[in-house]
Structure formats: C-alpha cells, structure tokens
Chain A
Amino acid sequence: MKVLMAAAVAAMLTTAMLATPGLAADEGACFVASGLVQADFALPHVAAAIAEKRLNVVVLGSASSSLPPAAGGAPKAYPARLEDALTHRLPGVTVKVVAHTKARETATDMVKTLRQVLKDEKPDLVVWQTGTVDAMLSVDPDNFQTALGEGVDALHEGKADGIFMNMQYSPRTDSMVAMGAYLEAMRFIALQREILLFDRLGVMNAWNEMNVFDLSAATKTNDVAQRVHDCIGRLLSRLIVDGAKLGQASNTGAGNMDHPNKDIR
C-alpha cells in the first residue's frame, strides 16, 4: 500500500510537471499509475527515427490488444490511441502504429509473426503484448521464457527496439488463471535482455485499487473499456518518449551529433 501511495504522489508530481495545458485535465486519471511506468532502458532506434521525423511502431498482441467491434473496434483500442498520443507528443514527426493482433496466439506462435513483421515492415519499435494466452493454456513457463528470448534475438537482428507488455488485470478471472510464473518470466527476460516492460497488470491493478476504473463491475457497456485503452495508449506513449530520450543520449554518445535535442520533448 505504501508503494501505491508513493506511486500516487509520484504520479501527481509527474503529471504536474509533464502536463501540457491542453491535455492536463483528461490525462490526470490515466497517470494515477504512472509511477509504475518508467523507462529503465533506452530506445535508441526510436530516438534515431524521431530525429528523422518518422516513427514506425508495430503492436504485436493477442485479443487484449484490440476491442471487439461492438465496443468500438480498432479505432478505440490502445494501438490507435497510442498513435494519437504519440502524434501529439512528437509534433512534426510522422507516427504510424500498425497493430498485428490475433486471438489465442501464444508467445511461441507470435515469434514467427514477429520475424515476418520485422522483415516486411522494418518497424523502429515493436510493442509485444503477450502472456495471457500462455497463462490460460498453462503453457510450460520454460517454453514461454524461451520464446521471449527468441523474440528479443529477432528484434536485435531486425534492428528494432522492443517493449514487452504483460497481461491485463482482470479481477473476475484472477483466481482462475495462474499468471505468476508468466509475469515473472516477462520481468526476468526484460531485465536480463534490457527490454522495457510496460506493466499493464500493475497499472490496471492500481487503477482498480484507486477507483479510477471499476474493473470488477459486471458491465456490458463500452465506456470503461474504451477509457482503459485510451489511458494505456497515453501511458505507453510516455514510456516510448522517455525511452527515446535515454536512447538519444546514448546515440549522441555514439557520435550521432546531428540529432538536436529539441526533437524529443
């Protein structure tokens, strides 16, 4: 709880510091959990792309990276919201976010798609959302972990940055799916291979605890689902920009002196 309180305070501070006047009011709610979203590692490829005024992002995920058509579909799901938020944050940069989502795909299945996407689309960044399907099918956590490692290898070969995104926090099915081993595996590989992790589960859990969103309510309405996706898109955009700032520093250090700092705000 203390951690959460600290997170809340940190969130308020960061919100106050970051918020540009037009966005402040409606972003507050999203950033309640922003203490959980921190760029521990750099995104050098993203930084380089931003310097060239273009940014291609691919979201690779299972069904929880999309919304059913009845709930607004792709335009309301977080990949589209991310594109919107990044465009706002990076004026003058052409941002493109393409979502490759497929229901019931395990991490092992997705590695194949990842290789293909890296070859065909040459993205600067891949947001890889995974874990839910593997946990539901109780795939051997060992295999899951191996697949994550192979994915990171593919990212390196494809000269793209990566961000892992873990599961949604789903209070109603919480006791039915043992997520623990898969969450730990994602954190472990993220740390070992220096990949950013967007802790979607932690963020949504914090929203639920602080009543930003009531996630355990039995509801058929789309309102909460759309707002959750919008907030995930915004928080993710912040993580990407923060990672790019770190990446810019390292790129500059490596000799790319012609990337002016003002490109990334």
Chain B
Amino acid sequence: MSPVTPPGRDLRLDLFRGLALWLIFLDQIPSNAVSWLTIRNYGLSDAPEIFVFISGYTAAFVYGREMDSRGVTVASARVLKRVWQIYVAHIFLFVVYMAEIAYVASSLDNPLYSEEAGILNFLKEPGVTMVQAMLLKFKPANMDVLPLYIVLLAGFPPVLWLLRRAPTLGLAASVALYAAAWMFDWDLPAYPKGTWVFNPFTWQLLFVTGAWCALGGAARIAPFARSRPVLWLAGGYLAIAFAIMLAWHLPHLASDLPRWLTDWVNPADKSNLDLLRFAHFVALAILTLRYIPRDWPLLTSPWMRPTIICGQHSLEIFCSGVFLAFAGHLAMVQLSDGLGMQILVSAVGIATMVGVAALITWYRNVEGKKHGPRQTPVVNADLAGGEA
C-alpha cells in the first residue's frame, strides 16, 4: 500500500467512491444486518448515486485532458476501449452468477420453494439467456450498475466534446433529455420483462452533472454552494429526509405519517432518478464538500488509505464486490446465516476488496517503475478515473 498520490489529485473523489463501493457490496449480500449502515436507510439517495456522479466527474477529468493533449478522436477511442473493458468484466460476472445458480439448482428441492425454484428455469434454455445477457437485456439481481455505466460511457465522447465547448449548453441538453425521458417514458427494455433498473436516460443527469463539475462547473458554483442559506437549505433537506426514512423503517410510525409525506419515499421513482433523490444527493455533496476540504489532513492518513485505494481501482473492486457477495451468500446458505456470520462475511469481504486494491496498486507501481517516467501520464490517467 505505498502512496499513489499524484500531485493535484482530489483524494476526496477516491475516498467517497471507495466508500460507495463498500456500501454497494454490503447491500448485495442478501438479508445482511450490516447493510443497515448504507445511506439509503437514512435518506433518499443511495450509494449508486455517489458512484455514478464521481465516475462522471473523473471520466470528464481524465478524458478531457486526453482531448487536450491527443485530440478528440484518440480520446474517444480510449473511452470506447474502457467501455469494452467494462463490458468484458460484466460478462465475466455473469458467468460467475450462472455458476452459482447452477450450483444452487442442484440443492433446491424443498417443496416449500417450488415457486422460487422457477428462477432456475432459464438454465433450461441457456442459449436465449446468454444472448440476452450479452445484449445487456438480461441482468440478474445486483448486476445493473455496470450495464448503466457501459451505456453512459459509450455515449460520453460527444457529450464531453460539447461540455468542453459550451458547458452550460451541455448541461442543459442533459436536463432536457432527463425531462423528455420522464415525459415520454423513455427507457431501455429488459429480459424477460420490464425495463432497466437504472434508466440510463434519467441517470445520465448525475453522470453529466459530475462531468460538468469536473470541467469548471464546480468552481463556478462554489460561491453559491458555500453560501450560508444554501448550506442551511441542504442541511434542512437532509434532516427532513432522514426523519421520513426513519419513520418509514419503523412500521408502526409509518402508518401515522401524513400520506403526502410518504409520497416522498414512493419506491417506484428510484429507477428513474426522481428529482427528490437527485436533490438529496446534491445536498449531501454540498455539505460534504463544505466540511471536508480538499486538503483535509485525514485524507492522507493511513486510516483512509484502504478506502481510497478501493476507490482508485473501482472497476476491479466493484467486480470483486459482486463476486464476494455471491460467495458470501453461498457461505451463508451452506454454513449459517446468523448475525455473526453476516458480520463475518461483510468484514471478510471488505478486507478482501482492500487486499485486491493493494495488490493492484503495488503491481501498477512496479510496472510504472519498469517503464520509466515516460509512461507516467497514462498511469495517472487510469488512476484518476479511466477507472469505472
């Protein structure tokens, strides 16, 4: 875990992306008591929001500089190369999923669960299933984030080009697409039924907002975002959202809530990134950036190191997380699913993610030294957000 801090790098991005990856992992372990830690239990937005926003930010930062130094065509080609890597990673995870399902199929014959066993039906027609998975239409549980990221990044080159020429126009176009998707119900189809869990036409708003912030937008709105009324507004909004979620999670309080207030937690709006959720994320970001400055001393302390290196290798760590969640579930089914086991699986999983991140960091450093300083810019680019 040697230091990997290129000068000028905003470690807050890595820190919070690492944190988001941990939370996404905890959420993916089924019936996990530890997932009570995740932020969606305390407000309207969730870890994927953080992940998508920071990914937009870093993608714009890295590929924007690439457009400066090597031109639009080369930078676009590099974006598409990254899309391909993520696609391959997604297919790899799908194979892991198939393996787990096939294994569980051999042991699921409890008469109580004859209906649930239907989820294994697609093993009977693997051809259709595989093709639908490759088309990103069949997405098993918990495998929705990477397809979203693939689509967002694939459409990113022209957006980046526009954002660099006319940032306000670029952001306006994104808002317009968001509004149109809500108005005309635009979405991508899924297999066997329904639509994408994360609708790319609406979720792009977070990604593009992140990119816009990276390309100077953050500096432009800083005086506004740091003004006292805005901070109070953000804090108040988070407090109200917290109170509502608290009531929602305590069944006997929930029935006493006024109906118009519970409308806020309407679960149907997650896949379309409801404005209330978007606003919640923005409020969270405003307060975080205000109270955790870029040169926050703790950012360079060894305590933050594990989270930061996870955020720096986000694609690998995301995939490890999905894999570990499957493995953890199998362990819980086979051995025990008590509270102790849930905590153990969560802790071992996060430790493994940190271990993988440390290994990659070490390997990149060794490789970087071998090639000499000439390669450094490319290594930096990858670290700062060529990563998913």
Contact = CB atoms under 8 A, between A and B. Distances in A.
Nearest to A202: B251
B108 A173 contact: yes
A215 B267 contact: no
A62 interface: yes
Interface stretch (B27-35, B162-170, B231-239, B299-307): B27-35
Interface stretch (A18-26, A139-147, A237-245): A139-147
B115 A103 contact: yes
21 contacts: A1-B33, A64-B113, A67-B111, A68-B111, A71-B111, A103-B118, A137-B194, A140-B195, A141-B194, A171-B337, A172-B107, A172-B110, A172-B333, A174-B329, A176-B101, A185-B268, A188-B268, A191-B254, A192-B262, A215-B110, A220-B111
Q: How many interface residues does chain A have, given as a range?
A: 35 or more
A10 to B, nearest CB: 11
A171 B195 contact: no
Contact of B111 (A70, A136, A168, A169): A70
A38 interface: yes
B30 A174 contact: yes
Contact of B31 (A168, A171, A222): A171
The 9 closest A-B pairs by CB, nearest first: A174-B30, A184-B267, A71-B111, A63-B115, A178-B141, A225-B112, A175-B329, A218-B107, A140-B194
A228 interface: yes
Given A141-B271, A188-B266, A191-B254, A208 B337 contact: yes
Interface in A82-100: none
B148 to A, nearest CB: 14
Nearest to A136: B119
B227 interface: no
A41 B255 contact: yes
Contacts of A229: 112
A171 B113 CA distance: 10
A28 B126 CA distance: 46
A71 B110 CA distance: 10
Contacts of B197: 138, 178, 181
B228 interface: no
A38 B194 contact: no
Contact of B116 (A145, A173, A209): A173
Interface in A111-166: 132-133, 136-143, 145
Contacts of A181: 197, 267, 270-271
Given A38-B251, A188-B267, A224 B112 contact: yes
Interface residues of B, number: 53
A173 B119 contact: yes
A138 B31 contact: no
A172 B113 contact: yes
A171 B114 contact: no
B99 to A, nearest CB: 12
A241 B274 CA distance: 39
Contact of B262 (A168, A188, A215): A188
B220 interface: no
B109 interface: yes
Nearest to A183: B267
B212 interface: no
B255 A191 contact: yes
A177 B194 contact: no
A136 B104 CA distance: 16
A133 B116 CA distance: 8
A101 to B, nearest CB: 10
A132 B197 CA distance: 17
B158 interface: no
A64 B114 CA distance: 7
A133 B140 CA distance: 15
Interface in B315-353: 325-326, 329, 332-333, 337-339
A64 B337 contact: no
Nearest to A193: B259
B252 interface: yes
Residue from A143, A192, A218, A228 whose CB has the most chain B CB atoms within 10 Å? A218
A228 B112 contact: yes
